């Protein structure tokens, strides 16, 4: 499923140019893809299994592979939110939404908001925005702080970069990622049109 979802996210433009992807938790194990490879071509034997402290449990077939640089960020969502899957998207809507400024994106009164667990139509969706760093791993501490400061969010944006989204399992994480992508796209379009909600 991890490999299949990487292919689908690549087709959506969420995991192009080797970045982005998804990790999935299976009990006490977390499966992650290799770093810096074409995510749409990742095969089952290329995957790493690690425990929730990041220790290697199952190595990939090729010893030259390294786990995704997103791994420390994925682990924060697993540990702090009991997530079952975490998606990292480089989708353009997420990236563009972060360029409109502020330390959080806020949007409300849209039907699609109901697709986020614990949210209703009238709720304000608040997605914190982190400042980007030179290396993906360096985002881990600020992502942890943002997750703690925003207990209702299922996503954290990274300026000029993308978004991390999670859910209780891969199905909910995928649904959340699709809803947030819709909201980010609408947010950018609304700013272009000069309308607000
Ligand atoms: C063009 S990818 C730049 C690095 C990045 O943003 C990223 O998400 C890398 O992830 P990886 O899984 O390849 O370590
Ligand atoms: Zn990235």
Complex-level ipTM? 0.99
Ion ligand 2: protein residues whose beta carbon lies under 5 Å: 19
Arithmetic mean of pLDDT, 47-71: 98
State the residue for tokens 């207990």: 151
What mean pLDDT comes out for the span 6-17? 98
User: In percent, how much of the chain has pLDDT > 90?
Assistant: 99
Provide the annotated binding site for Zn(2+). 88, 90
Q: How confident is the model at residue 180 (pLDDT cuts 50, 70, 90)?
A: very high
- pLDDT of res. 196: 87
How many CB atoms are located within 10 Å of the residue 70 CB? Answer: 25
In this prediction the pTM is 0.98
Nearest to 191 by CA among 78, 114, 106, 134: 106
Q: Which protein residue's CA is at the shortest distance from atom 5 of ligand 1?
A: 19
Residue pLDDT, tens place only, 93-140: 999 999 999 999 999 999 999 999 999 999 999 999 999 999 999 999
Ligand 1 binding pocket (C-beta < 6 A) is 17-21, 35-36, 68-70, 88, 136
Instruction: Say whether domain 2-193 belongs to CATH 3.40.225.10.
Output: yes
Residue nearest to atom 8 of ligand 1 (CA): 19
User: Binding site: which residues?
Assistant: 88, 90
Q: What per-residue confidence (pLDDT) applies to 179?
A: 98
Whether 51 shows a pLDDT value over 90: the answer reads yes
Ligand nearest to the CA of 72: 1
Residue ranges per domain, the chain? Answer: 2-193
Contact (Cβ atoms closer than 8 angstroms) between residue 35 and residue 66: yes
pLDDT digits (tens, 9 = 90+) for 128-179: 999 999 999 999 999 999 999 999 999 999 999 999 999 999 999 999 999 9
Tell me which residue has tokens 């809507």: 93
Q: What strands lie across the sheet with 124-130, from one edge to the other?
A: 56-58, 48-51, 29-32, 21-26, 85-89, 162-167, 155-158, 124-130, 104-108
Q: What is the per-residue pLDDT for 197?
A: 77
Query: Considering only CA atoms, which residue is closest to atom 4 of ligand 1?
Result: 19
């Amino acid at each position: 499923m991890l490999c299949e979802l990487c292919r689908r996210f690549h087709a959506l433009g969420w995991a192009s140019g080797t970045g982005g992807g998804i990790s999935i938790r299976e009990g006490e194990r977390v499966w992650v893809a290799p770093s810096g490879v074409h995510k749409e071509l990742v095969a089952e034997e290329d995957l790493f299994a690690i425990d929730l402290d990041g220790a290697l449990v199952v190595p990939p077939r090729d010893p030259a592979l390294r786990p995704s640089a997103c791994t420390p960020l994925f682990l924060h969502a697993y540990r702090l939110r009991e997530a079952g899957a975490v998606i990292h998207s480089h989708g353009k809507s997420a990236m563009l939404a972060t360029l409109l400024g502020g330390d959080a994106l806020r949007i409300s009164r849209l039907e699609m908001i109901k697709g986020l667990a614990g949210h209703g139509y009238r709720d304000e969706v608040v997605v914190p925005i982190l400042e980007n760093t030179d290396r993906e791993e360096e985002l881990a501490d600020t992502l942890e702080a943002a997750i703690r400061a925003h207990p209702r969010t299922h996503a954290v944006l990274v300026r000029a970069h993308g978004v991390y989204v999670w859910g209780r399992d891969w199905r909910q994480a995928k649904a959340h990622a699709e809803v947030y992508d819709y909201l980010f796209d609408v947010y950018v379009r609304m700013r272009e049109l000069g309308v607000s909600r």
